[in-house]
């Protein structure tokens, strides 16, 4: 009996692009075999089949945009009975697509980096429906299908609509690519690029005062060069960075925390935490300390809705910790960090970081963050100004702690000082509150008992 396998959910509202097809017509498949890989902005999701049978037809190709419910394969089911629609969440392979800066701070840390995550590319094109019988009519390649149907209902992928709305672009201004029947995510990006190149139009106003692109000089006349295509994660990183930096009015302020006593406590208790399966890193301690500050200062645990001129205060505290992986920068999220003790956070962060580096992270590992920490202390640096991880409103950057002379009142003594910088959205947070945030955090790091009060 024939059965049509459709794409399971990639996550709430998540779409992706087919990056690999692992079966072909005539090939036998067994339940749970991986048949395709779908790349999103966060993971490469391996999609398992849910029946035993033989592939009759592959209904998609590499490069297609897909979303939940997209027909993927036609299967001749071995037992003669069609299976139920797929319900399982796909397993995941190499994590991709987050954007940001940073690594981890202390010597035993997790090499974390800050990222900005957004939706992946849009869903697969679908044919417009009408009350008439459908008759195939070839469309000349020079023709461009009308972007709208009667009553002003534009045919556009969900992600294309989302990005156009974010940028303040009217979909009616965008024409689908030749041969396509609806506006895609790429069509929106191409439209923005054209407007930016001409330095005119509403798109430029929406993404900020962007300068037109200037042609590069001919570097070859100075010496040998080599060009490399930017990776998918690199493209997404660049795109998200430009959007976040353009959409959010940034400001930063820095402070140093004296972590001399904290480092002594970390060394004292790290073996106890290791026995529980975690690493007691400075990053783990920062997650716990930041959660405590966020409870006192909810404007840092928020998002801004520019359309409604409203601030959305989140009643949950999910701290994103950036991880530097061979595939790019990702930010796994410690959910409900305020409800977990330091050992629990250390164990979870150790597991999340390992999964992320090995490309085994799940989509839910990277979702739902309310505040991000970017820590490059394991590499070095004296200060860093990170870009806010949109749609969050603040990000903490930490660089390498160093011993510096501190006057005790009678003599200079060596103290371990850790530089910290808070970056914030000036529409939601003012400078005085940002300074208070750092002072609260500094106080907890210098006297950890304060975090329990």
Catalytic residues: 426
Return the residue matching tokens 């009060």.
453
Burial 215-236 (b: 16+ CB within 10 A, else e): eeeeeeeeeeeeeeeeebbbeb
Cα-trace Rg, the chain:
25
CB 93 within 8 Å of CB 36 = no
CB 40 within 8 Å of CB 120 = yes
User: Which among 122, 131, 214 is positioned nearest to 159, based on CA atoms?
Assistant: 122
User: Which among 279, 262, 270 is positioned nearest to 420, based on CA atoms?
Assistant: 262
Q: Please give the span between the terminal C-alpha atoms of the chain, in angstroms, as a whole number.
A: 65
Give one word for 384, left, alpha or beta, with left for phi > 0 and alpha for psi -120 to 50. Answer: beta
What is d(CA 397, CA 253) in angstroms, rounded to the nearest whole number? 10
CA distances to 233, 331, 350, 429 from 100, rounded to whole Å, are 11, 9, 20, 21
């Amino acid at each position: 009996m024939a059965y049509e396998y459709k794409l399971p959910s990639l996550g709430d509202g998540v779409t992706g692009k087919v990056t690999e097809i692992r079966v072909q017509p005539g090939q036998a498949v067994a339940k749970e075999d991986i048949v395709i890989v779908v790349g999103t902005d966060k993971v490469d999701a391996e999609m398992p089949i849910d029946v035993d049978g033989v592939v009759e037809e592959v209904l998609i190709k590499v490069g297609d945009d897909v979303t939940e419910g997209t027909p993927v394969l036609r299967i001749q089911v071995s037992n003669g009975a069609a299976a139920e629609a797929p319900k399982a969440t796909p397993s995941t392979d190499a994590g991709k697509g987050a954007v940001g800066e940073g690594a981890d701070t202390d010597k035993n840390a997790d090499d974390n980096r800050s990222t900005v995550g957004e939706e992946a590319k849009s869903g697969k094109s679908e044919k417009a429906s009408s009350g008439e019988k459908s008759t195939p009519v070839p469309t000349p390649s020079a023709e461009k299908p009308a972007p709208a149907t009667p009553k002003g209902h534009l045919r556009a992928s969900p992600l294309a609509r989302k990005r156009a709305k974010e940028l303040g672009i009217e979909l009616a201004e965008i024409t689908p690519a030749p041969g396509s029947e609806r506006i895609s995510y790429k069509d929106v990006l191409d439209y923005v690029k054209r407007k930016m190149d001409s330095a005119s139009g509403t798109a430029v106003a929406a993404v900020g005062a962007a300068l037109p692109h200037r042609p590069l000089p001919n570097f070859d006349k100075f010496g040998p060069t080599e060009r490399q295509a930017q990776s998918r994660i690199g493209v997404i990183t660049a795109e998200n960075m430009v959007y976040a930096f353009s959409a959010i009015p940034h400001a930063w302020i820095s402070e140093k925390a004296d972590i001399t006593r904290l480092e002594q406590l970390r060394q004292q208790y790290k073996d106890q935490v290791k026995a529980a399966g975690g690493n007691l890193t400075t990053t783990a301690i920062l997650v716990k300390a930041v959660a405590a500050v966020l409870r006192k200062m909810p404007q840092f645990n928020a998002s801004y809705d520019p359309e409604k001129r409203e601030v959305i205060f989140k009643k949950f505290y999910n701290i994103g910790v950036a991880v530097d992986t061979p595939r790019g920068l990702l930010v796994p999220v410690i959910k409900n960090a305020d409800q977990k003790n330091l050992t629990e956070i250390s164990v979870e962060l150790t597991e999340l970081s390992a999964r992320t580096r090995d490309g085994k992270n799940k989509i839910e590992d990277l979702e739902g963050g309310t505040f991000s920490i970017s820590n490059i202390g394991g590499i070095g640096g004296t200060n860093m100004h990170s870009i806010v991880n949109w749609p969050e409103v603040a990000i903490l950057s930490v660089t390498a702690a160093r011993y510096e002379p501190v006057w005790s009142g009678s003599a200079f003594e060596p103290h371990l000082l850790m530089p910290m910088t808070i970056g914030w959205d000036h529409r939601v947070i003012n400078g005085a509150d940002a300074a208070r945030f750092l002072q609260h955090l500094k106080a907890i790091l210098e006297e950890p008992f304060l975090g329990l009060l």
